[in-house]
Amino acid sequence: MHEGTPLLLAESVTVRFGGLVAVDAVSARFDAGELVGIIGPNGAGKTTFFNAITGVQVPTSGRLLVSGDDLTGKGPHRFAAHGLARTFQTPRVFADLPVRDNIEFGLKFAGRRPRKYWLWGEEATVPWTLRDATRILQLIGLSDQAALPAGAVTPSQQRLLEIGMALATRPKMLLLDEVAAGLTESEIEEMARLIRRLRDELDLTVVWIEHAVTVLLRHVERVLVLHQGRKIADATPREVVRNPEVVEAYLGDEMVEGVS
Ligand SMILES: Nc1ncnc2c1ncn2[C@@H]1O[C@H](COP(=O)(O)OP(=O)(O)OP(=O)(O)O)[C@@H](O)[C@H]1O
């Protein structure tokens, strides 16, 4: 089923903090165009794994290959240069700058990236939707807020803006860390639809960590489940919600609702 070089390959990645094993020998592969979720109870190691696969946290052991290049031990800028862009649990926007300027910042970053690492090879073939700030603002639905300081828009809009900033770097892979946290039900659905569009229309690989498990399971095609640092499942949402170890980890069957 899997052919060619994976976009991102994690091989037995372990992250220890003193005596605590936050991520325990997790292996995973992510291929071009996939929409993959990562779930797990509080403290399961999701964010730490995310930090490891984006170069923010150097693993204690294991290997990370991006498009076949071994980036183990490299910093986040190297992962970014290889086309990985991410959001953080607390949106990192420039609060005093207008929304549009935040997007421009991402576009400048893309301009600095060595051409050989661009997914689309040439600037001329950058997808139309990511060519400039105006189109990115349209895509994320923030055109009307373009002139407002980023700190003045709603928390939900700040999350969208952070996604826009990540998109402006023209990534191959977008990693989203709890982008639905603190959003209302309808905002979460809207966010999920946007995430699907990014994958469908921009052909991005999207890896999405979320606490709103039910929503996530409705939208992703594959889900990794972490529990106490270990990967306990890596399968379709349908399979995962029937996995006894997963149900046990969540101490209930609430996540089964809506995924049948
Ligand atoms: N910098 C750190 N130093 C020490 N321990 C840490 C550090 N970061 C995370 N941990 C611990 O590692 C474990 C995994 O944490 P992590 O934040 O990755 O889990 P998570 O699945 O993302 O949790 P949540 O859903 O609550 O965000 C937890 O026990 C946490 O306390």
Q: Give the tens place of pLDDT for each residue, 101-146.
A: 999 887 887 655 544 434 444 444 556 667 789 989 999 999 999 9
Q: Which of 220, 223, 202 is nearest to 127 (CA)?
A: 202
DSSP string for residues in 168-189: HT--SEEEEESTTTT--HHHHH
Q: What is the pLDDT of residue 1?
A: 47
Q: What is the pLDDT of residue 181?
A: 85
Q: Do residues 95 and 146 share a domain?
A: yes
* Half-sphere exposure of residue 234: CA atoms within 13 angstroms, side-chain side: 7
Give the residue numbers spanning the domain of 126: 91-171
When comparing pLDDT for 237 and 248, which is higher? 237
Q: Do residues 181 and 75 share a domain?
A: yes
Q: Do residues 146 and 184 share a domain?
A: no
Q: How far is the CA of 227 from the centre of ligand 1 (A)?
A: 12
36-41 average pLDDT score: 94
Q: Do residues 58 and 104 share a domain?
A: no
Q: Do residues 106 and 66 share a domain?
A: no
Q: Do residues 128 and 192 share a domain?
A: no
Tokens read off for 146: 């373009």
The pTM (predicted TM-score) of the whole model is 0.87
**pLDDT tens, position by position, 54-100:** 999 999 999 999 999 999 999 998 998 899 998 887 778 889 999 99
- Please work out whether the CB of residue 45 comes within 6 Å of at least one atom of ligand 1: yes
- Please work out whether the CB of residue 225 comes within 6 Å of at least one atom of ligand 1: no
Boundary of a domain, candidates 171, 206, 236: 171
ipTM associated with this complex? 0.96
Q: How far is the CA of 23 from the centre of ligand 1 (A)?
A: 9
CB 221 within 8 A of CB 36: yes
- Please work out whether the CB of residue 47 comes within 6 Å of at least one atom of ligand 1: yes
Q: How far is the CA of 224 from the centre of ligand 1 (A)?
A: 17
Q: How far is the CA of 228 from the centre of ligand 1 (A)?
A: 10
Q: Do residues 204 and 250 share a domain?
A: yes
- Please work out whether the CB of residue 48 comes within 6 Å of at least one atom of ligand 1: yes
Q: Do residues 166 and 179 share a domain?
A: no
What is the number of structural domains in the chain? 2
Q: What is the pLDDT of residue 239?
A: 94
Nearest residue (CA) to ligand 1, atom 6: 17
